[in-house]
Structure 1
């Protein structure tokens, strides 16, 4: 854990120097990287351990974005971020109590369905109560403030993943993923552990949504509840290795750079590359890119053993 903490501190320190060294485009790309680092790392805390496939990330992201849009002019910036995280976590507690008794395909489909339900509910509220759909963000913080906020959220997500993995709570999540019935027999309060883990994931997604909302001058439900945000988070985590600490971080950076390079100029090529990487990962690296290091070390030791023999 000490080595991981030192590495995280060095990476965060290096990222903190970035705004003084790069231009506006590179800073925007770095924000996208940090957003997906936070989303994929926090998603892996719960889903990577329990093997529950949640498609609700875009719901929590959108909730945080709308909480930010509604309170940005009334509250200080740190409180806006904390409110986005708190509201998303509260919704996750309710959602988790309703759907976490399911597993597999049923859980994935139901979380996606509830995401769509939330999006349509927000759209209906906007049309019926405010008379319009969407919000104009007139007062927003500067880019550097948003960047450092996202850096803090991303670093917090990785640090939380690090701490959870070495805690009794993390062992309980891993036990649920290995054999939920056995974990329950051994005295693990599986329902509460799953619900709290789900809410923890939602809190970081809500905080990221609250920070990223100000990157748009106008937000609407279609933009901030975009299912692509949730799907890409899942793909990043799976390809990077949802059960690893640094795999989702590396994959988030790689995919953010790939997206900016291909999506605007060659959108079909980007989606093809995304699909191809997922297929190759599932076929040859079922544990994600995070398993490359283990496989490399095993091959090195096997080769060395052969030579010594």
Structure 2
């Protein structure tokens, strides 16, 4: 059944738009800048990058090119695992701000609880950046429930988000429950399972029912779960296809069908992942 695919706005949770543009592996400078510009002028208001992506400058160029006010954009980046000592957090966060060409960040994440991550030292630096007004919110990424709970106890600034791999083949119910218990938003990276959702039979069936793409169905399912998604996209067609997921309304039968998928697949699994 065909439906209007022209959403004008995106729902938000705690001030964060629930659909954003991911920029991992978007390393061609002009393409990255144009992806950001295209997404923002289409209606996106959430852009996610990281020090490790080595494209903060290009993301900043895209922000500058877009005919959208900076204050209307929710901008997030992440401190890499080699920069998580207290003074390194402070120094490299300012370098990220310079590369992005902004005075402050809407959200700064601890990218992984690994290597130089020491909860007290790392999070005290994040709190200092928060107190100085250089970041509006503190986030963590790839944290297990027990690591999230410890970080919340230690960090003076409120932790508002945990960014993790999450999609229909990795639904992470225990982690989502822990985040909900602590009023922490869940942000899904690799929300399309690096393209694997396109070959998933149940998602294909739901997509056919709604005259939608498998990507749109997966993103709509995440939204039904209260999860923010940041799919990576470069070309205008993919950026638009993801944006149009906001017009897809799944019914309870659809959600139950996707919840019943038994296939499990983790796409991002480094040796330093806390689950290893």
Q: TM-score, normalised by structure 2?
A: 0.27
Tell me which structure has the larger Cα radius of gyration: 1
Comparing both structures, which one devotes a greater share of its residues to helix? 1
Q: TM-score, normalised by structure 1?
A: 0.25
Comparing both structures, which one devotes a greater share of its residues to strand? 2
